[in-house]
Structure 1
Amino acid sequence: MKEVTINNNNKDRLFNFIFGYPENKKWTLSLYNAVNGSAHTDENAIEFNTIKDVLYMRMRNDTSFIIYDIVSLYEHQSTFNPNMPLRQLQYLGNLYESYVKKNKLNKYGSKLIMLPVPKLVVFYNGETEKADEIILKLSDSFAEAHRQESDVEVRVRMLNINYGHNAQLLGSCKPLYEYSWFIKRIQDNMSKADKPDIEEATSLAIDEMPDDFIIKDFLEIHRAEVKGMLLTEYDEAETLELFKKEAYDEGEAKGEAKGEAKGIKKIDCLYSWLKALNRTDDILRAVDNKTVQNELLEEYRKAHDNSDK
């Protein structure tokens, strides 16, 4: 197994670490085939084009690639996010912009530009129970009275990859099945421990993994990085719960019946915005610092005010 060099500043997610690196193209192709019902065999046909935050003002997506005139945008979510069509639309716009520049295409000319067909997928493994497959639509964000008038629609397939869900999908992609098993084993280890520790639970899950699992060697080689990635994701989830509790306490203390709902909604929006921009550090800084939290809320408000103009 060839070792992959990791930039820890990127705080990548484990899903992207497994399926989004050139060294693992065979696993990426297996996932693509399982999702699309195809049977491609040449992993070298995959061309990664994942957005990096250095190019687009800290906006970055998980994994995207082009294969045979299809551009696939894959996102991993451990919390349900109904706004993924909007986010994927933004990612796709940036990817198309990059594609046009790279291929020296003239979008202002009289000749029709041919673009790769987009396939937008979210892989979900959160704790909230969800169906095996859900289609999220951008039009759900439009006022219902005018929804049919929209000239734009974006559809995103959300696939539940929790262990025990989507048996056919997981059965068609062994690395995906193994990833699902691995996450479930970590969760089991956490629930059994007197003092849950995500790093210990992760290390134990690697040791417990069957030897015939394809991804085992990869996880063993990068054990420290894997534990760090999952610790970051775990901290994000814990931070969100703390944000929600703080909003609840604030509303309760003021005796406002609507204070809780408004506070939670405001914090949820902020959290989702920061997460989309990969600003995990800001999320963690804000949880124990009201001043930082207020500054971020003000930044969020100004950003959205400007976008509405």
Structure 2
Amino acid sequence: MTAVRKGADFFLFQLMLLLCAIWGSQQVAIKLAAEDIAPMLQVALRSGIAAVLVGILLLWQRGWRGWLGSTWLAGILAGVLFALEFFFIALGLRYTSASHMAVFLYTAPIFSALGLHLMLPSERLRRLQWLGIALCFGGVVMAFGVGGEWSEIDADILLGDALGLCAGMAWGATTVVVRGSRLSEAPAGLTLFYQLTVAFVLLLGYALAMVDLGQVRWTPLAIGSVLLQGVVVSFFTYLAWFWLLRRYLASNMAVFSFMTPLFGVTFGVLVLDEPLTLSFIIGAALVLAGIMLVSSERWLKRRLAGLRGQ
């Protein structure tokens, strides 16, 4: 029997507020500890720590072993894309700000919507969603810098922003792989384990080849950043998200999740003292509006229908 999922309530709002604040702190934590430990090594270690924790959880649970034979290939592909996402994040944070990365990374729903539109008939985009995509890409252009600001923007920042957009594409492609394969029916913990394990192997290999380990300083800040990302973000918050998905409507949760880039921008400004241009603020607002339209079109239609019936 299918469980009945609840609509939004105050408990969901409180927990999603906490989750979004934690997710929004990721890029800031990586950037803050970058002088002590290279971002690429940070994202590799976070994946490894979380993979071990998820693996222990899977050993305790049952029901996932029968999925290995039909999901391992899609799992590896999802893991490669997951690794690419964090590769672009780590590399991009060398050039751009954490607040910029937070916005460009969360363009992922746009790319996943486009991919699913091409792959699955049930995921065809509606007019309102196409409007959202147009708003989002218009916002991306604005956030990159227009209206006479192009000449004032450092080329490194533009490169970092482009890498952030690539991270969003990789995240969106991961969603398409999961939704278009047997992973969509497999236990969520198994899918997460594939992603974390493959990412750990690939990112650690790259980090060991490119990072001078002699320059790594295991300061409290470096250790705290890695543990925050590996234990809190990649393990506990994902478990909390999946727990909520079994109890609440996914569309309601999607609306609240748009707070994440807002927290990312806020933390970047407050903690790292990152500057914001007017074009970026306007562009970020357009990006968020576009993402909301694409991800929540069905939810908005139900809400409007309900209001009309009152």
Q: TM-score range with shorter-chain normalisation?
A: 0.3 to 0.5
**Which is richer in helix?**
2
Considering fraction of residues, name the structure with more strand: 1
TM-score (norm 2): 0.33
**Highest Rg: 1 or 2?**
1
